[in-house]
Amino acid sequence: MIKNIYTNNMEENLKEALEYMFYFAGIAPPKSVSYYKKENWFTKHTWTERQQEKYTEWLTKYLTKNWKGIMDRKPSSKIVREKAARQFVFNYGLKTRPVNIKDFTPLISDGQLKEVLSERELQVLNKWLFGQTRSPHGIYKWDLERWLNTQK
């Protein structure tokens, strides 16, 4: 279903999909540097679960019109595109890393938490925060930092 990316004649769609992987990981803007051309590139960079989820969503939409060079044949439905995107990320995606306090700005709003944390991580955090004093606009940075330390 997914083509092998390790070929000399890489299709433009595949190059763009790989470049956007680094963009979603917060490493570089698209089309600025071809990190995937360096040896063992997949071991040198990481992303969070949420960054991986966002990239997978983007790739699913991208495969609607830009499947050539990534897939063997045109995807017949959204389900096929989603499966192909998940397989692509599984085969060629970056290593996931735990979220750390540096992923947040000083004011940690509920919106920012939803933007940075995956659904699973957000559920675990909310369970951990139950009964603690919270700001009406989000959570205190030191509470988040304490929670992140329990996730190691």
pTM: 0.70
Q: Is the pLDDT of residue 127 over 70?
A: yes
So where are the chain's domains? 12-96, 101-150
Highest mean pLDDT among 3-12, 48-57, 103-112: 48-57
pLDDT digits (tens, 9 = 90+) for 66-109: 999 889 899 999 999 999 999 999 988 999 999 888 888 766 89
CA dist 121 → 13, 105, 114, 116 (Å): 32, 18, 9, 9
Query: Higher pLDDT residue, 88 or 44?
Result: 88
Looking at residue 11, what is its pLDDT? 84
Nearest C-alpha neighbor of 25 from the set 84, 91, 100, 94: 94
Residue whose token pair is 């299709």: 11
135: which DSSP letter? Answer: B
Interacting residues of 18 by C-beta distance below 8 A, sequence separation 6+: 5, 34, 35, 36, 92
Q: Is the pLDDT of residue 7 over 80?
A: no
Share of residues in the chain with pLDDT > 70 (%) = 91
Q: Is the pLDDT of residue 137 over 90?
A: no
Tell me, rounded to whole angstroms, the distance of Cα 85 from its chain centroid. 12
47: which DSSP letter? Answer: E
